[in-house]
Amino acid sequence: MEKTVKLNNGVEMPVVGYGVFRIPEDETKKVVGEALDTGYRLIDTAAGYLNEKAVGQVINDSSVLRDQIFLTTKLWVQDYAGDNAEKAIDGALKRLDQDYIDLLLLHQPMGDYYNAWCALEKAQKAGNVRAIGVSNFESYQVADLIVHNEIAPAVNQIEINPLNPENDNINWLKESNIVPEAWGPMGQAANGIFTNPVLTEIAKNHHKTVGEVMLRWNLQRGVVVIPKSVHEARIKENFDVFDFELTPDEMKEIDALDKDKRYFTMSLEAQKSAFSSFKPAD
């Protein structure tokens, strides 16, 4: 299996990355360093995670060359309107202490995301961003962006796991030459997913863990994964997914687990209220 995928603008993106959602900034430095040492080359952060500065410091201090690291971050909805979007991009570059961002996403389909998308297009043309995309957008929203803007999203990062496989969404994205990327690829360890009898039996057959099986299932479907853990052993385990292959029957067994059960169900109005005062530090 290839360890990278080519985006619709020719940029190469690793298929397994390391996510830093909800990791405190002081701990972020340690675990991102461990991830890079393990072999991860995709690091995924966001303004809303409040740890961009720590991520950037680790990248700058790492022995891994910058052009070998694929850095993703995201703009939050509060920065979508007016000239806030362009300022927010500059702010992200400053916090990360980087000359460029490999992939910049709009974090949620809320507010004036049309205006923010125009700012992302401008940043890509200026060379400050290598590729642009979206997160948590429905397919119809992505299609609307494609029709009414110059640059199509390269990636849509959405919640994908065996209990919420997003089959129709993934198929549409792939047909539209947009890479689907899974956040929460192991279901946030909710709903008994790690003790699911189908997954545990398949894991046993391959002498692998349930987590590794879930990641491999997504990879074989053409989905990029960004697992997150703060434990060094699990960080290494989540990267050890290139030495086995699930059979077609095993893939079908996992596909049949679909319960259309999303972990993240907060309404858009609730999100707006919860994050109305959010502002990343300079």
Q: Is 113 a catalytic residue?
A: no
Q: Distance (Å, rounded) from C-alpha 184 to C-alpha 162?
A: 10
DSSP calls for 101-150: EEEEEE-SS-SSHHHHHHHHHHHHHHTSEEEEEEES--HHHHHHHHHHSS
- The 10 Å Cβ neighbour count of residue 231 is 11
3 with 14: CB under 8 angstroms? yes
Which residues are 157's β-sheet partners?
135, 181
- The amino acid occupying position 131 is A
Residues 184, 159: Cα–Cα separation, whole Å = 6
- The sign of the dihedral angle between the CA atoms of 154, 159, 163, 168 is negative
- Alpha-carbon distance of 154 to 146, in angstroms, equals 10
User: In angstroms, what CA-CA distances link 47 with 39, 104, 130, 275, 280?
Assistant: 24, 11, 18, 12, 6
Radius of gyration of the CA atoms of the chain, in A: 18
How far apart (Å, rounded) are the C-alpha atoms in residues 166 and 175? Answer: 14
Residue whose C-alpha is closest to residue 263's, from 194, 158, 190: 190
| Residues found in the chain | 282
107 annotated ligand binder: yes
> E-strand spans in 175-217?
179-183
Q: Which entry of 18, 49, 80, 113 is annotated as an active-site residue?
A: 49
Task: Please report, in range form, the residues annotated as the binding site.
Answer: 107
Active site residues: 49
Task: Please report, in range form, the residues annotated as the binding site for substrate.
Answer: 107
